[in-house]
Structure 1
C-alpha cells in the first residue's frame, strides 16, 4: 500500500511535468528551461503555485499574479498522472516494475497532451515511450517466463505488426482518396505500443482508442454545433496513448 501512495503522489507531480514537457517541446523550448512561468504575464511561478492538485483549486483556476485563466487541462493531467501511478503500483509485481510501468504511462500522457494541444506527437517523447515500452517488455513479470529472447521477439513482432497494419491503412487511404487520413505519428505510436504490449493486446488498444475518439468527436460536434463530417481532424494519437495505458493495467496484463 505504501508504494501505491508514493507512486500516486509522484504521479500527480509527473502529470504536471508531462503537461509542461508537452508544451515546451511543442514550442521548441528545452525541457531544462529554468523556472515555470505564467504564459500570460511571464511571471516566474512560486513553489506554492505549483503544488500538484492543490494549487489549481486554491487559486480558483487563475494566475495569482495577473488573474489569467489557468487551463484546466493542467489540473486534469495531474489527476490522470496520480491515477496512473496508483494503477501501476496495483498491477505490477514489485516496486521496480511498478515504477517502470508508471514512467511508461506518464510518457504516454505527455504524448496525449501534445496531440490534444496541437495534433503533434513530438519525436523525443515518442523515442522515450518506445524505450520504456521495450524495457517494460524485457523485464517481464518477474517469473522468468517466457525467457528473454522470446520476450524480445514478442515485442518486436508487436511493433512490426502494429506499425505495419497502420502504415498499410494510411497508405491505402491516401491512395484511394488523395488525402492523408492518418498521420505518420500514429503509425509510430502504435509500433511503440506494440513493443510494450505485444501483438495480442494491440487489437484491444485499437478498439478502445476508436471508441474514445468517436466519443470525443461526438462531444466536440455537439459543443461546436457541427456535424461529424464537418468536424475536421481528431487527436487519434491521444486516444491511442490513453488506450494503451488502460490496456496495460487490465487484470490480464500481469
Structure 2
C-alpha cells in the first residue's frame, strides 16, 4: 500500500471512531434523538458514496492492476473512504444543529492528526534506513509504537496500582496515545494486502490463516520474519496495538465526569 492509502484509511478509521463516540454522546443525552443523528450519518455517507461511480468511470486505464481509481479492486476502498468522510460530514451537521456536545470534547483535528501520524510512522524506515531496508521488522511491529507511548502506559499503570482503582483522571494523553496506536495498527493491517486489494477485505483476510502478506519483512540483526510468517506477524502485532489502544480509550472515557 502507498502512503496515500495508509493516510486515507487512517482518516476513515478516525472519522468512524468520532462518529461512534458522538452517537454515544447523543444516546446519553436522549435515546430518541439517536435515530435523528443516524439519519444524518447515513445521508452524509450515502451522498458521498454517490461520487464513487463518477471517480471510477471517469478514470483512464481501467484494465490496470495498479492501485488507482481506475482499478476495480479500488472501488471497495473508495466506497469505504467516501462513506466515512461523508458520514462524518453528516455527523458534524447534526452536531451543529442539535448542539449536543461530544463526550470528552474530542478535537477532530488533533485526533485525525495523531491517527495519521501513527499510520505513516512504520514507513519512517525508508528515510532512516534506506529504501532497501523498507518493511523493517522493528518498524512493522508492536515494539516501536509501544516504546513511544511507554511513558503514558507506565504512568497509567502506576496510577492504577497506587490508587487500587481505575479512577485515575481523564488525562488527554490517554486518548491521543490510543489514536496514535490505532493509526499505527491500521498500517500493519493494510500491509497484509496486495496493492490492488480493498480495505473492505480487512476482516476476512486478517482472520484467514492460509492467506499470506504480499512481501516479507526485512531482518534486523538476528530478528527475521519470513514471507510465510509475515502475515501472522503483522496481524498479531497490529492486534496487540489495538488492544492497548482500546484499554487507553476505555480508561479515558471511564474517568470523564458524569454528564449533568
Same fold (TM over 0.5): no
TM-score bucket (shorter structure): 0.3 to 0.5
Which one scores higher on RCO, CA 8 angstroms, separation ≥ 6? 2
- TM-score when normalising by structure 2: 0.32
- TM-score when normalising by structure 1: 0.32
